[in-house]
Structure 1
Amino acid sequence: MKLNRYFKYSEFEKGLDQILNRSKNHSWQKSVIGKSVLGKSIYGLKFGSGNNHVLIWSQMHGNESTSTRALIRLLDSDFFHQFEQNLELYIIPVLNPDGCDFWTRNNANNVDLNRDAIDLSQPESKILRTAIDDFQPDFCLNLHDQRTIYGNDSGTLPAQFSFLAPAGDAEKTISGARLKAMSLINSIAGAINLESAYVGRYGDDFNINCIGDYCMSRGIPIVLFEGGHAGQDYDREEAAQLYENALKIALTKLSNDLKLQSRDEIVDGYNEIPSIAQTYTDILLKQVSDARGSRQDLAIMYREVIDGDRLWFIPVITDIDQEQIKNAHRVLDAAHLSFEELDLLIEECGVVQSTSFSIRSFYK
């Protein structure tokens, strides 16, 4: 089964049922583990009988669907069955179904579920906490997408995948649980091959309200996955394939018991993964002339808008001559054009269109 980057939650539910009803998937146990703010069923899938318990959840941010698509593809294969004796898996494929439908980061109460680990103000947050308390995972995989703004510090490469072994305290202690998370990340990062992008490392500032930091504070190893962007992959097809590969590597390692190197080797390997920085934009239109003849660089980002069943990408000017922005997924040069020759149509809200530069809205 294949899901587009934007899909209705009902489409996901229908596809999941079709997959689990096939004979090769009868060993999965599906249950309703709670309801969203708007009353949608949230599902838990359990599989396997191994002693190593792995809890995976996806799309706690509703507009981050790449990991859900990767999970669906893996569920629609026989990949998981090799782990039946070694792992017990508990998967929550969509934690935020209301956000999934609305294409919003937050839930229907406009709360970021990844900032609600302690307050537990939302039903979806309580569902996840119950899963953690009842399942008692030996390892957690927290699956996300990241925006198109991330690249390396120099802006020479975009970050197409990023990872984080969260801190469990303000001192950022390298605990045993955190070492395990770092070791798994090192294994994944070392096995992913990217041609025109890189694997990055998220910052580890501590926030106990983030679910990763909360889990690590309890001594539960957890890895944050962040599927990223490179080039014109706005349907995130390349990213979904990378996600599949990353999950395969992670679960294979966990099923064989994660073999730890020395503490220094693990930490050094983890720190060698380059950090991410907000050095990218979607389109960088360079040396644009204004009416006075001076030239400026325009940073353009796509605003994601749902219209019916389609996800539209609307180009909007977000910055002018911003030093932090060093590169873009598409770089255009207007130095050869005078102000009178430009065909930029810029609305008051910042939406921009150009026929000559092929800057326009599109949908996926």
Structure 2
Amino acid sequence: MLPRYYSYIQFEDYFQKILNTLDGSVLKDLVIGESVLKRSIYGLKIGSGKVKVLAWSQMHGNESSTTRAICELLRRSDLEHMLENIELYIIPILNPDGADNWTRVNANNVDLNRDAVLLSQPESIVLRKVFDDFQPHYCFNLHGQRSIYGSKNGSIPAQLSFLAPAGDKNKNLSAARIKAMHVINSINTDLNHHVNGIIGRYNDDFNINCVGDFMMSNLVPTVLFEAGHSGDDYSRDEVSILVYKALQIALKSVFTSHLLKVAVVNAYESIPEMSKAYVDIWIKNYKSPAGIKHLCIQFHEQVQDGKLYFIPILIGVNREDVLNGHRVIDLSDDDSFKNDLIVEDNFEIYSESLNITIFAN
């Protein structure tokens, strides 16, 4: 499997190796467009079934887990059998420049997921052309989420999350939206007991500039996949495998017909909503002359010399919205703490016994 960060050249080499194992008939017209910096954008069409599924990943360049999951799907020895009744169109990386630079935006500093209507960027135009030409029956919009999400009470992190986007400002339950909810319900049923945390549900406020909302407004069932975080899985290896499994389930579930609307909606709404309740490190009960008690630290991800580094940054003190951390250091009952925690005036933090060096925001 690819590492969490890879250069675009690394991806192209890996992708080519996968292509070499596939039937040669799928290797036509692979380059479907170019990024701002003239990197090739690839599209791969597999299968010849009646149900058309369009899946795209890494429209945000620093969200690589779903691309890795797609690569695992393509490596399956029984891929042809799995797609017996499906025609699957995959865009593995929509934002090559952002992927190479490990940024959310493209080389013009535009969030492609806010460009569905304007189509101001070449990458957005590529996706729209595929959507118009391919005319999918389902769309899978593949993303990765930050490590800040968890259950409403902050007790459990969200390792996977999904959304059946609204297709209008009134959030009507169209037939397309019910179908998308059914796909998510199928994933939740099959994977709920395999996640290290919860499977969460995103807020469905409508924004026509978001690609998923736009496609749902065109009455195409669209499922937002979000690869989340739990525990020490900062490599996102565990969640990439979970997304791979979720894709398998999703592809099987698109054949269900005659869905009972009430049952589908009730099952979908039973999936817990999430909140931004988590930080990467939460230092609790630090007693200082200033009365500081809870220090909230988040990792800043930065690529240098081809490697991804996680730089801990203090992002707040005594924040009421923070309810938990992926690493919790409670100084009131931590026997390993040797009272060597130093908090500088600029809020840089050091402790040899806790093995932390945290930088000011």
TM-score, normalising length: structure 1: 0.93
- How far is 1:195 from its partner? 5.4
CA contact (8 A) 1:184 1:258 kept: no
Q: Any gaps of 5 or more consecutive residues in structure 1? A: none
CA contact (8 A) 1:304 1:311 kept: yes
Looking at structure 1, the residues matched to 8 and 78 of structure 2 have their Cα atoms a distance apart, in angstroms, of 24
- How far is 1:29 from its partner? 2.7
* 2:221 corresponds to: 221
- Deviations, residues 93-119 of structure 1 (Å, cap 9, x unaligned): 000000001100000111000000000
- How far is 1:278 from its partner? 0.5
* 1:50 corresponds to: 49
Looking at structure 2, the residues matched to 177 and 319 of structure 1 have their Cα atoms a distance apart, in angstroms, of 42
SS at match of 2:293: strand
Equivalent residue for 1:326, pick from 310, 314, 323 = 323
Alignment of 1:61-80 (within 5 A): 61-80=60-79
Change (3 A) 1:217 1:77: same
* 2:260 corresponds to: 262
Aligned pair 1:155/2:185, yes or no? no
Looking at structure 1, the residues matched to 185 and 104 of structure 2 have their Cα atoms a distance apart, in angstroms, of 28
Looking at structure 2, the residues matched to 153 and 194 of structure 1 have their Cα atoms a distance apart, in angstroms, of 20
* 1:205 corresponds to: 205
* 1:190 corresponds to: 189
Looking at structure 1, the residues matched to 125 and 345 of structure 2 have their Cα atoms a distance apart, in angstroms, of 43
Percent identity of equivalent pairs: 48
- How far is 1:21 from its partner? 1.2
Aligned pair 1:59/2:20, yes or no? no
Looking at structure 2, the residues matched to 347 and 258 of structure 1 have their Cα atoms a distance apart, in angstroms, of 60
Alignment of 1:168-187 (within 5 A): 168-187=167-186
Aligned pair 1:19/2:23, yes or no? no
- Deviations, residues 41-93 of structure 1 (Å, cap 9, x unaligned): 00000111111110000000000000001111221222421144311111000
- Deviations, residues 315-351 of structure 1 (Å, cap 9, x unaligned): 11111111111111111012369x9933336584x55
The residue type equivalent to 1:190 in the other structure is: T
- Deviations, residues 183-232 of structure 1 (Å, cap 9, x unaligned): 11000011112354000000000000000100010001100000100001
RMSD: 1.8
SS at match of 1:296: coil
- Deviations, residues 139-163 of structure 1 (Å, cap 9, x unaligned): 0000000000000110110000000
Aligned pair 1:29/2:21, yes or no? no
Looking at structure 1, the residues matched to 63 and 338 of structure 2 have their Cα atoms a distance apart, in angstroms, of 41
SS at match of 2:262: helix
- Deviations, residues 304-324 of structure 1 (Å, cap 9, x unaligned): 011111100001111111111
Alignment of 1:5-154 (within 5 A): 5-22=4-21, 24-30=22-28, 31-154=30-153
Looking at structure 1, the residues matched to 322 and 9 of structure 2 have their Cα atoms a distance apart, in angstroms, of 39
Looking at structure 1, the residues matched to 141 and 75 of structure 2 have their Cα atoms a distance apart, in angstroms, of 21
SS at match of 1:288: coil
- Deviations, residues 224-268 of structure 1 (Å, cap 9, x unaligned): 0001000010000111111111011111222xx123431100000
Looking at structure 2, the residues matched to 33 and 278 of structure 1 have their Cα atoms a distance apart, in angstroms, of 37
Looking at structure 2, the residues matched to 357 and 189 of structure 1 have their Cα atoms a distance apart, in angstroms, of 38
CA contact (8 A) 1:197 1:230 kept: yes
Looking at structure 1, the residues matched to 111 and 293 of structure 2 have their Cα atoms a distance apart, in angstroms, of 36
Change (3 A) 1:240 1:25: farther
Looking at structure 2, the residues matched to 9 and 199 of structure 1 have their Cα atoms a distance apart, in angstroms, of 30
The residue type equivalent to 2:234 in the other structure is: Y
* 2:243 corresponds to: 243
The residue type equivalent to 1:321 in the other structure is: N
CA contact (8 A) 2:340 2:352 kept: no
TM-score, normalising length: structure 2: 0.94
Looking at structure 2, the residues matched to 110 and 260 of structure 1 have their Cα atoms a distance apart, in angstroms, of 44
The residue type equivalent to 1:274 in the other structure is: P
User: Which of 44-53 and 83-92 deviates more?
Assistant: 83-92
Aligned pair 1:274/2:272, yes or no? yes
* 2:295 corresponds to: 298
- How far is 1:291 from its partner? 3.1
Looking at structure 1, the residues matched to 348 and 68 of structure 2 have their Cα atoms a distance apart, in angstroms, of 30
Change (3 A) 1:322 1:358: same
Change (3 A) 1:84 1:287: closer
SS at match of 2:141: strand
Looking at structure 2, the residues matched to 151 and 161 of structure 1 have their Cα atoms a distance apart, in angstroms, of 10
The residue type equivalent to 1:59 in the other structure is: Q
The residue type equivalent to 1:221 in the other structure is: P
Looking at structure 2, the residues matched to 149 and 66 of structure 1 have their Cα atoms a distance apart, in angstroms, of 16
